[in-house]
Amino acid sequence: MPKKIVIFGGTGRTGKQIAKIAIEKGYETVCFGRTADWGNVPDGAIPFKGNITDEEDVRNAINECEIIILALSISRTSRSPFAKITGDRQLHSKSMKILTSALSDSGSKRIVKISAQGVGESKTRTGLIFRTLIRMSNLKIAFEDHAKADEILQGTDHFWTIIRPPMLNDKEDFIELVAGESLVTNTRTNVSRVSIASWIIGSLENIDWEKRCVTILPRKT
């Protein structure tokens, strides 16, 4: 019987790519989101319309699942880092508190959280211009809240992996990636969402990533 994956943020750009690859690999895949329905999730995925800050919705979504993937982002009016924030500024930390509470009586789960390079201790391993951009733009709000959520997850006994990719793009190319706890990126480093999605699904059965916070970036050729 295939393992069941729940993707929080499964209707977003990254979440949909993760869902597509999970389905290809034979996982039963649930896409959780406030607007989730059969028309906006990949073919083969199961939509779950819910609010990540509602504990009952979260409990129902993770029921009988083995794997949880968090691909959440705080909404802005556009992709510009200076765009006005329209979503909950504490989305990452609030949802992590609710998720860990819901998980307290559900047994161990495999959890993958997408954070970002530049969050927490990885701040010093990014380019100077990128660090300046974070400090001066609305990215700062998301990065600070990611750090709080990451810390909460790191304090659990679950088989978790926190991944910190550089900037994401929407290219359709698969690029081989490398992961490590001390990798350095520069301001221009970026990677496709589809490549990140492929790495995530490929890492699910790899115990080498248990309780590790890793930077992921393109392999140098």
Domain 4-218 bears CATH identifier 3.40.50.720: yes
- Does the pLDDT at position 106 exceed 80? no
Q: What is the mean pLDDT of residues 123-151?
A: 95
Query: What is the pairing mode between strands 4-8 and 159-164?
Result: unpaired
> What pLDDT does 108 receive?
74
Sequence spans of domains, the chain: 4-218
Mean pLDDT, rounded, of the chain:
94
pLDDT one-digit tens code per residue, 15-32: 999 999 999 999 999 999
SS3 content of the chain, % helix, strand, coil (to 5): 35, 20, 45
- Does the pLDDT at position 54 exceed 70? yes
Measured between its terminal Cα atoms, the distance across the chain in Å is 39
* pLDDT-based confidence at residue 105 (cuts at 50, 70, 90): low
Q: What is the mean pLDDT of residues 46-60?
A: 95
Q: What is the mean pLDDT of residues 63-88?
A: 94
> What pLDDT does 78 receive?
94
pLDDT one-digit tens code per residue, 145-187: 999 999 999 999 889 999 999 999 999 888 899 999 999 999 9
In angstroms, the CA 144 to CA 135 distance is: 10
